[in-house]
């Protein structure tokens, strides 16, 4: 049986690297990424699972890191925005002007990257279904949809 009590050194696989980090069982993954590992690409927004700005990939599926305990991520593959190195979706966001203030962008990028991976032939309904997990207060939804569609249709 796995048990964590108090502060513990946990080895996490993040962006292809195995990193040791000190965590408490009550730490959320968002807290650990930002405050213990300096990976500030995942943004704190609502911290209630509503806005999606803290989205990361766990075993390639999007997860809101504010609603995951760090200890749950043991033995999982964690990918943050820092781990997307020149992914096609990043270029697509630039070319489609898919951001304004940029606060929601890393969350949207992670969702879109996972969508392209799991549903390379996603239709409009599926795209909207996935994108509804995230909120853009600048309301740049059309451009974000254009970006993901350009990836899915292999236009770049």
Q: In the complex, what is the shortest distance from the CB of residue 112 to another protein, in angstroms, rounded to a whole number? A: 12
Residue 12 CA to residue 71 CA, distance in Å, equals: 9
- Other Cβ atoms within 10 Å of 36 Cβ, number: 16
Site string for another protein, 49-88 (x = CB under 8 A): x--x--x--x--xxxx-xxxx-xx----------------
Considering only CA atoms, give the Rg of the chain.
Answer: 16
Binds another protein (CB under 8 A): choice among 99, 134, 136, 143: 134
Binds another protein (CB under 8 A): choice among 12, 31, 93, 116: 31
Residue 41 CA to residue 107 CA, distance in Å, equals: 9
Q: Which of residues 66 and 78 has its CB atom nearest to another protein in the complex?
A: 66
Q: Are 68 and 28 a contacting pair, CB within 8 Å?
A: yes
Binds another protein (CB under 8 A): choice among 102, 132, 137, 138: 132
Q: Which of residues 6 and 38 has its CB atom nearest to another protein in the complex?
A: 6
Query: b/e per residue, 58-89, with b = 16+ CB within 10 A?
Result: beeebbbbbebbbbebeebebbbbbbbeebbb
Sign of CA dihedral 81, 45, 72, 109: negative
Binds another protein (CB under 8 A): choice among 12, 81, 111, 122: 111
Q: Which of residues 27 and 143 has its CB atom nearest to another protein in the complex?
A: 27
Positions touching another protein (CB under 8 A) are 1-6, 24-28, 31, 47-49, 52, 55, 58, 61-64, 66-69, 71-72, 111, 129-130, 132-134
């Amino acid at each position: 049986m796995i048990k964590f009590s108090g502060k513990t050194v946990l080895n996490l696989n993040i962006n292809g690297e195995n990193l040791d980090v000190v965590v408490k069982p009550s730490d959320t993954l968002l807290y650990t990424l930002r405050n213990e590992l300096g990976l500030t690409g995942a943004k704190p927004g609502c911290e209630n699972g509503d806005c999606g700005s803290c989205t990361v990939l766990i075993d390639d599926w999007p997860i809101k890191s504010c609603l995951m305990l760090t200890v749950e991520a043991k033995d999982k593959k964690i990918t943050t925005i820092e781990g997307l190195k020149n992914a096609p979706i990043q270029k697509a966001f630039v070319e489609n002007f898919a951001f304004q203030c940029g606060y929601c962008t890393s969350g949207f990028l992670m969702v879109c990257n996972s969508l392209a991976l799991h549903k390379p032939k996603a239709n409009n309904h599926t795209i909207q279904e996935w994108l509804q997990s995230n909120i853009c207060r600048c309301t740049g939804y059309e451009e974000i949809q254009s970006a993901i569609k350009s990836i899915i249709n292999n236009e770049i």
